[in-house]
Structure 1
Amino acid sequence: MSAAGDRLQDAARTAALALPEVSHSRPFTPQLDVYKVAGKVFLIVTDDPDEQIITVKCEPEHAHAFVHAHAAITPGRYLDKRHWITLGPGPGITKRLITDVVEDSYDLVVEGLPRRDRPSPR
């Protein structure tokens, strides 16, 4: 079953907050809820009711595959279009997919951190 916009955003927030040492704030604008690990962004949730989307970091080859496989996934909004994807509500956008892309985004960011800054393994 596809996730509607509000469920997409709620699933992303829940998945992010279940991960170790995650913080979130609204540093850019009140409508962008930004999730970070060790000060590095891995998820942006857009709170605009007309545009219920999330943006996550993604390996370029996976990003390309996601964009071609799902009409509701586009190159990342606001960020590098090669390394980020944006998910909106639509066919194939399930809670499991949302959780997976949020966790993968978190893992990508953690892998890029110096060992001393990495959270404890989950």
Structure 2
Amino acid sequence: MFEKIVAYGLSQKEAVKDYPFGADLLVLKVGGKMFALLTKKDGISHVSLKCDPVIAENLREQNKAIKPGYHLNKKHWNTVEVDDSFPLEDLYSMIDHSYELVFKNLTKAQREAITMRIRSTDL
């Protein structure tokens, strides 16, 4: 499952992986900014994702596997414990949301450069 999560995160526009905190913590970035942090321990994937604060609180109330961001700003980040019972579609939606939040906060020049590179590869 961990590999599916990583692959989905990397399918986002110009997403790249990095290991700035060591080999055990995979960070997915766009424009040099992180939108996901992933680890795997004892067969359980832990995925930290940026989230709108109101949505973050609602998600935590709805699902016990979603907790405030571990070692992150708990207002803006959730950490999800993903085991076989957690619906991947829900996680993918959360990854999309995190990516979109980070992407829209990039500089206009960064967003335009990414969009232009994507368009040029679609030709």
Q: TM-score, normalised by structure 2?
A: 0.84
Structure 1 Cα separation of the partners of residues 81 and 92 of structure 2:
14
2:48 partner amino acid: T
Of the three residues 61, 66, 78, the one matched with 2:59 is 66
1:21 partner amino acid: E
Is structure 2 residue 69 aligned with structure 1 residue 76?
yes
Q: Which has the higher helix share?
A: 2
Larger RCO: 1 or 2 (CA < 8 Å, sep 6+): 1
Structure 1 Cα separation of the partners of residues 68 and 41 of structure 2:
19
Partner of 1:98: 91
| Aligned-pair Cα RMSD in Å | 2.0
Structure 1: give runs of 5+ residues left out of the alignment: 1-6
Structure 1 Cα separation of the partners of residues 8 and 94 of structure 2:
9
Partner of 2:121: none
Matched residue count: 115
**Is the radius of gyration larger for structure 1 or structure 2?**
2
2:53 and 2:76 in contact (8 A); partners too? yes
Structure 2 Cα separation of the partners of residues 117 and 102 of structure 1:
20
Structure 2: give runs of 5+ residues left out of the alignment: 119-123
Q: TM-score, normalised by structure 1?
A: 0.85
CA displacement, residues 53-97 of structure 1 (integer Å, 9 cap, x when unaligned): 110000000000000000100001121000000111358621101
